[in-house]
């Protein structure tokens, strides 16, 4: 019977020392030139010694002009290889794997980062006017981005990262190409699912060709966008069958977008019609989806979202629903939680979501005016965790902020970082 301490060998031949992965979490710790810093190294050293067999970085950007946050690391002609090496060295100190998550935010890049987002089509994200209208990418830009994903993967490998994960979930660029809501193109990159999936498949082919056969290449994919007319679970099952031919080493199952933040277990607007009742009954909210994906997937599966007990993790592994379990929020405050679980000292993972939540306020999701409260609340929760990651990077103790203080501090940090980045973009790198 598989348990969380068992090693796992991937199709490419690399072996993970155990079944626990730190899932990707945006760090926001880059310098104003978007290069990795000592703060990355400090945070990842703690996670490395914390016991997880696999650490996946926060999303690293392929385009320095369009970021998910102003503090993202980007690999786009801005140097910074020494910082990446330092990060990779620190993040693998305990013999674990460290993979770089490679991403482009598409239309989900805030106005304080850019007023010129790009997407498959000019469909704007409607959230507190914080996101400018994207322009439709040209075919040449798509081809260029395919090359950039591969280039960033090679840069990661050469700097000492032991694998890469292509981010095709959560409404970011590759995910937005998959969805008919955001992809309204009439060319070979839009329309039928086969066309909408082309960008992702081409990125994977280019990445695999660039890094070689023995280097782990993973994908993070939505099980469902939970959006009427969007990328559905049936679409996901079809895409997974195509991915079967692409030598994917690990497929991570997640779900949702900024508008439907199901990745955090939070309900979005008007989603009652698309929610599966059974998912709510389980600690890990994408396990039901993983079960059906398992029936078509030939590659190993990782499931992330909601795991909060050693018992729940071991059950998911023992019942064969997945091969690796991803943990995110619990590791912001307790980077050594995996080690503590392995030693039997921790059976329930720390969870602050309830303290930060508005309770089971389903009515908020059904009223379009009150929905604003929900958005602010989700930003505040994310901000609370982002501030904890910054503390790991600074090597200081964790904070005990409430939701409103976290929201305010996080947003102030974001604006200051955006300003520093803007100022830096006007002078040569230090
Ligand atoms: C602060 C924070 C930052 C995140 N950043 C990313 C990211 O960069 N890339 C990504 O794929 N998911 C990101 N996520 C989503 C997590 O990887 C994960 O899917 C989600 O938090 C659910 O797992 P959990 O219940 O263990 O926290 C982030 C989540 C949090 C809380």
Q: Is 28 within a domain? A: yes
Selection from 118, 17, 34, 28 nearest residue 430 by Cα: 34
Per the structure, the complete domain to which residue 181 belongs is given by: 8-350
CATH number for the domain that contains residue 258: 3.20.20.70
177: its two tokens: 């190409």
List the chain pLDDT tens, one digit each, 430 residues.
999 999 999 999 999 999 999 999 999 999 999 999 999 999 999 999 999 999 999 999 999 999 999 999 999 999 999 999 999 999 999 999 999 999 999 999 999 999 999 999 999 998 878 899 999 999 999 999 999 999 999 999 999 999 999 999 999 999 999 999 999 999 999 999 999 999 999 999 999 999 999 999 999 999 999 988 999 999 999 999 999 999 999 999 999 888 888 887 776 655 544 445 444 457 888 999 999 999 999 999 999 999 999 999 999 999 999 999 999 999 999 999 999 999 999 999 998 877 776 554 555 555 556 666 777 778 888 999 999 999 999 999 999 998 889 999 999 999 999 999 999 988 877 7
With a 6 A CB cut-off, is 328 part of the ligand 1 pocket? yes
pLDDT score at 272: 45
Burial 369-379 (b: 16+ CB within 10 A, else e): eebeebbbbbb
91: its two tokens: 């993040």
Closest atom of ligand 1 relative to the 381 alpha carbon: 31
User: What's the gap in Å between 303 CA and the centre of ligand 1?
Assistant: 12
The answer to whether residues 317 and 4 touch, using CB atoms and an 8 Å cutoff, is yes
What global pTM score does this model have?
0.95
Alpha helix segments (H runs only) across 223-286:
233-243, 277-280
Q: Is 102 within a domain? A: yes
pLDDT score at 300: 98
User: Nearest residue CA, atom 3 of ligand 1?
Assistant: 25
| DSSP β-bridge partners for residue 163 | 99
Q: Is 382 within a domain? A: no
With a 6 A CB cut-off, is 263 part of the ligand 1 pocket? yes
With a 6 A CB cut-off, is 254 part of the ligand 1 pocket? yes
Q: Is 187 within a domain? A: yes
Give the position of tokens 């082309």: 198
User: What's the gap in Å between 384 CA and the centre of ligand 1?
Assistant: 13
User: What's the gap in Å between 24 CA and the centre of ligand 1?
Assistant: 6
Q: Is 323 within a domain? A: yes
Coil, strand or helix at 323? coil
Q: Is 358 exposed, middle or buried (0-12, 13-18, 19+ CB in 10 A)?
A: middle
Q: Is 270 exposed, middle or buried (0-12, 13-18, 19+ CB in 10 A)?
A: middle
Alpha helix segments (H runs only) across 100-168:
139-159
With a 6 A CB cut-off, is 102 part of the ligand 1 pocket? no
Number of domains, the chain: 1
Q: Is 320 within a domain? A: yes
Q: Is 367 within a domain? A: no
Q: Is 370 within a domain? A: no
């Amino acid at each position: 019977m598989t348990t969380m301490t068992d090693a796992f060998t991937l199709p490419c031949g690399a072996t993970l020392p155990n079944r626990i992965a730190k899932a990707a979490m945006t760090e926001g710790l880059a310098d104003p030139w978007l290069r990795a810093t000592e703060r990355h190294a400090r945070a990842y050293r703690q996670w490395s010694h914390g016991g997880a067999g696999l650490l996946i970085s926060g999303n690293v950007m392929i385009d320095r002009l369009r970021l998910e946050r102003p503090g993202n690391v980007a690999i786009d002609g801005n140097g910074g290889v020494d910082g990446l090496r330092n990060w990779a060295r620190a993040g693998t100190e305990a013999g674990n794997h460290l993979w770089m998550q490679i991403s482009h935010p598409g239309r989900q890049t805030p106005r304080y980062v850019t007023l010129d987002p790009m997407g498959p089509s000019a469909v704007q994200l409607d959230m507190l006017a914080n996101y400018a209208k994207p322009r439709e990418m040209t075919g040449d830009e798509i081809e260029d981005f395919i090359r950039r994903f591969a280039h960033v993967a090679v840069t990661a490998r050469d700097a000492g990262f032991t694998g890469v994960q292509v981010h095709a979930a959560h409404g970011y660029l590759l995910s937005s190409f998959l969805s008919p809501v955001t992809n309204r193109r009439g060319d070979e990159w839009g329309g039928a699912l086969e066309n909408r999936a082309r960008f992702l498949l081409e990125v994977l082919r280019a990445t695999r060709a660039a890094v070689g056969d023995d280097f782990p290449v993973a994908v993070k994919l939505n099980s469902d966008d939970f959006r009427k007319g969007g990328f559905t679970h049936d679409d996901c099952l079809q895409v997974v069958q195509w991915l079967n031919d692409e030598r994917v080493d690990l497929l991570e199952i997640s779900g949702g977008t900024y508008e439907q933040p199901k990745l955090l277990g939070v309900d979005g607007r008007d989603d009652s019609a698309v929610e599966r009742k059974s998912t709510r009954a389980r600690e890990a909210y994408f396990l039901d989806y993983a079960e059906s994906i398992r029936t078509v997937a030939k590659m190993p599966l990782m499931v992330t979202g909601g795991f909060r007990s050693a018992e729940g993790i071991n059950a998911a592994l023992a019942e064969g629903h997945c091969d690796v379990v991803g943990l995110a929020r619990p590791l912001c405050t307790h980077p050594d939680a995996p080690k503590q679980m392995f030693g039997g000292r921790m059976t329930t993972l720390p969870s602050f979501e309830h303290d930060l939540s508005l309770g089971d306020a389903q009515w908020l999701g059904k009223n379009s005016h009150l929905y604003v409260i929900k958005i602010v609340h989700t930003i505040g929760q994310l901000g609370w965790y982002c501030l904890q990651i910054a503390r790991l990077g600074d090597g200081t103790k964790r904070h005990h902020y409430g939701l409103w203080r976290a929201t305010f501090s996080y947003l102030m940090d974001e604006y200051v970082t955006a300003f520093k980045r803007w100022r830096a973009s006007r002078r040569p790198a230090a």
